[in-house]
A and B are shown apart, each in its own frame.
Chain A
Amino acid sequence: MKENVVIIGGGIAGMEAAGQLLSLGYNPIIVEQQDHLGGHVAQWHRLFPDMIPAQELVQKLGESIAEANVFLETRVNFVNRLSDGWNVMLSNGINIVCRAILVASGFTLFDASRKEEYGYGVYDHVITNADLEAWLNGSADRRVPFRPESMGFVHCVGSRDMKAGNTQCSKVCCTTAIKQAIEMKERFPDSNVYCFYMDLRLFGKKYEDFYINAQKQWGVQFIRGRVSEVSETMEGRLQVKAEDTLSGRPVKVQLDLLVLMSGMVCNEHSSRMAGMMGLDIDSDGFIRSRDNEYHIVESNRPGVFYAGTCTGTKTVPETVCEARSAALAIHNYLKGR
């Protein structure tokens, strides 16, 4: 009999780990709340920096776990500690006994309507990064105008924001804004596209090239200043105000579409899980790894491991690497190494 490993969360972290655990000879069991695998990435259009379709990655991961047990639309009701492992009770009535659990419960997208000054859910043409990805994927969205002349991207929505309770940088949204700005320019070459940023944090491979390309080839205009307020004009356009901190002067502009770069916040599901298993929470609100330098995928509890954004904001490649690393850590743990 192959040994069970319960994976909480069927996003790309859970999927990748399950694939690796299968080839290591285990029986991974994925428990996913939603009705599909792939998490947030499954809703995304293209991934930077090479612009591969997000669907391609999710599909590949799906093929690698064809033999894994997957419970969709299922929650973990309770977890209790046994002398030599854990007993996991699922909402579908199934109980699983295992020695190792992988928490891969991911993040929640910051609720942009909490930043009232940006008017998400109030004005007709304010959407989030996730809404735009869905639109790019072909789902209809009446908030996106037929032929926008001017568009804006607001960086750091709900990130780097003490008032919103999130001091962390979400890491991916600067690049996402630039990626989406380019994608909109491809569709509407004559439009003006503005990015309102505080810093451009473009740390990853080829991210800076993305930025240079957005400037040089696409003429995306970068304005250093956080959008302070958005209002609607009589004609139904958006009036956006910020300070152009490089000029030291206030700046305003009328737009037909405003895209809010909602950040990653720790999800309530992860916190619940942490409570049941006695896992530590870090000072940033995410689940706490044993340490943040060397033991990222390990927890303070025996047999509990982490992968992906449940422990902090991460990119897709970081998440996938962590999942592989977690699978190996679980393997070593179960082999008593």
Chain B
Amino acid sequence: MDFGFGINRSSTIDLTKTDNGLFRRVCSEEPGARTCMACGSCSATCMASDLSGMSIRKVLLAMQRGQDIRHMLSKCMLCGKCTMVCPRGINTRRLVLTICRLYD
């Protein structure tokens, strides 16, 4: 039946039900990934960010919130600029490869 309106899905993130298993698996190989402080340097310098929305910061956050990150990861060109600027010294380029390998 068409009521002439729809209901949007709730945008609330429910951490109690969130599955952040991927993030935990990634962190067991790349513990540095936990130290991200959301400074945004990686995305600011990323060549893919401007046109595609790729952002290491957002990838790390989305994984912790159990959200899909494929659309971002697939845009990475593995140039490594983000690794150069990360103040926490996270090997972000290798992180992308690790995430791809552990993604199921």
Contact = CB atoms under 8 A, between A and B. Distances in A.
Interface string A244-269: 10110111111000000000000000
B13 A250 contact: yes
Interface in A293-315: none
B35 interface: yes
Interface stretch (A46-54, A215-223, A281-289): A215-223
Contacts of A194: 15
Contacts of B38: 224, 246
A251 B13 contact: yes
B47 to A, nearest CB: 23
Interface string A181-209: 00000000000101000001000000000
A249 B15 CA distance: 12
Given A215-B34, A216-B32, A216-B35, A251 B12 contact: yes
B8 interface: no
Give chain A's interface secondary structure class.
strand
Interface residues of B, number: 19
Contacts of B65: 244, 247, 251
A54 B30 CA distance: 36
A254 B34 contact: no
A253 B14 contact: yes
Contacts of B61: 246-247
B21 interface: no
Contact of B13 (A211, A216, A244): A244
Contact of A252 (B12, B32, B64): B12
Nearest to A248: B11
Contact of B11 (A150, A215, A224, A249): A249
Contact of B12 (A150, A212, A216, A250): A250
Given A194-B15, A250-B12, A252-B15, A221 B35 contact: no
A249 B12 contact: yes
Contacts of A249: 11-13
A211 B62 CA distance: 21
A200 B39 CA distance: 12
Contacts of A253: 14-16
Nearest to A253: B15
23 contacts: A150-B16, A194-B15, A200-B37, A211-B37, A212-B35, A212-B88, A215-B35, A216-B32, A216-B35, A219-B27, A219-B34, A221-B64, A247-B61, A247-B62, A249-B11, A251-B12, A251-B14, A251-B15, A251-B65, A252-B12, A252-B13, A253-B14, A254-B16
Interface of A: 150, 192, 194, 200, 211-212, 215-216, 219, 221, 224, 244, 246-247, 249-254
Interface of B: 11-16, 27, 31-32, 34-38, 61-62, 64-65, 88
Given A219-B34, A250-B11, 5 more contacts: A200-B37, A211-B37, A215-B35, A216-B35, A244-B13
3 interchain residue pairs of minimum CB distance:
A253-B15, A250-B12, A254-B16
